[in-house]
Structure 1
Amino acid sequence: MKFFDEQANLRAPFQKIVKGLAVCYTIAICLMCFLPQSVYPTLKSMETPGVQHFGRITAILTPFNTLVHFGKIPDLVDLIFIILQNVANIFLLFPLIFALCLLKPNVRQVKKVLLMSFLMSLAIETTQVILDLLFNFNRVFEVDDLITNTLGGLLAYLFYRLIRSVTT
């Protein structure tokens, strides 16, 4: 069974499945990104090096913060935890951007995917700041999240291109 038609668009039965999964994943992103941090179990109570506090707003404004403050990370467990956070951020938007590439031919351009991924990430980070101001959700605005989420969008686009080339 072919997933794509002659114009490289996803066939109708698969479109419904992908749309449903995209809606579910969008809800999951909202839950992951907008619930208070206290809802989630804490593995370590360390503060990431480079954190800045502006009243109730917490931010990491240094690009590539883990690399810049590598020597300030106290132990291997903390380093692994920080690296895993960055890897998770790479894949945060991956499923959603991949679904959009499958469903929307007009977004299948690298510039559009990069812009869309960056703007989604910026919206998430900005909303977290607003939630922190209004409700003290203990969220952190991170420049690295903008970078890693955008990278994840790019990887989703490249994965879409690979899947399309293999299956058409």
Structure 2
Amino acid sequence: MALLPKNLSSTWTRIVSCIAIVYTLFICLLCFSPQWGLADGVTTPNIIYWGRLRLLLVPFNSLVSAGQLTSLKEIIWVFGQNLSNVFLLYPLGLCLVFLRKEWRSVKSSLLYGFLISLGIETGQILVDLLYDANRVFEIDDLWTNSLGVLLAYLTYRLLTGSRKTD
């Protein structure tokens, strides 16, 4: 039984579009503003420092490097980063899957989630080159953000009673 229709009315389309725009601005503020002091006292293993750029290119770094985390604060920070990245793009993905039919498949949601995440991560490198925002390009963010958009698509399917791609 469907809780919501697959396609929104024009009024709801405008509302969801506004929510998507506001949330996109929130993501930009969150991801591209300087990150000072948020992780004081936390050392994330395997970060590569290249000038003022910070890169974390080890896949599944949280799991691979869990033994190197020395405090509860580090464990919460590192695993919390992964969890928050899963849900970073979830609201935007949910809006877009309702607004755009081409987002309504597993393949599309993963692809679009990956591309948005790649744009964010690349943008963070550019921001650090421009004004040293203390951001980190993390390879794991690509899959955790993509997973968030996939979860949004699966939520859409659950809410609309969809059994297959539209």
Give the TM-score of the pair, scaled to structure 1. 0.90
Moved more, 116-125 or 43-52: 43-52
Moved more, 22-31 or 108-117: 108-117
Select which of 136, 140, 143 maps to 2:136.
Answer: 140
Checking the alignment, whether the CA contact within 8 Å between 1:60 and 1:143 is kept in structure 2 is yes
- Name the amino acid aligned to 1:32: L
Aligned to 2:127: 131
Post-superposition shift, 1:43? 5.2
Aligned to 2:109: 113
1:124-156 Cα shifts (integer Å, max 9, x gaps): 000100111121111100001111001111111
Checking the alignment, whether the CA contact within 8 Å between 1:97 and 1:157 is kept in structure 2 is yes
Structure 1 gaps of 5+ residues are none
Structure 2 gaps of 5+ residues are none
Give the TM-score of the pair, scaled to structure 2. 0.91
Checking the alignment, whether the CA contact within 8 Å between 2:42 and 2:77 is kept in structure 1 is no
- Name the amino acid aligned to 1:58: R
Aligned to 1:54: 50
1:41-62 Cα shifts (integer Å, max 9, x gaps): 5253322011111111101100
Mapped to 2, the partners of 1:61 and 1:144 lie a distance apart of 8
Mapped to 2, the partners of 1:42 and 1:139 lie a distance apart of 11
Checking the alignment, whether the CA contact within 8 Å between 2:43 and 2:74 is kept in structure 1 is no
Post-superposition shift, 1:85? 1.2
Percentage of matched positions with identical amino acids: 46
Aligned length: 160
Checking the alignment, whether the CA contact within 8 Å between 2:42 and 2:73 is kept in structure 1 is no
| 1:18-167 matches, cutoff 5 A | 18-38=16-36, 42=38, 44-165=40-161
Post-superposition shift, 1:3? 4.2
- Name the amino acid aligned to 1:22: A
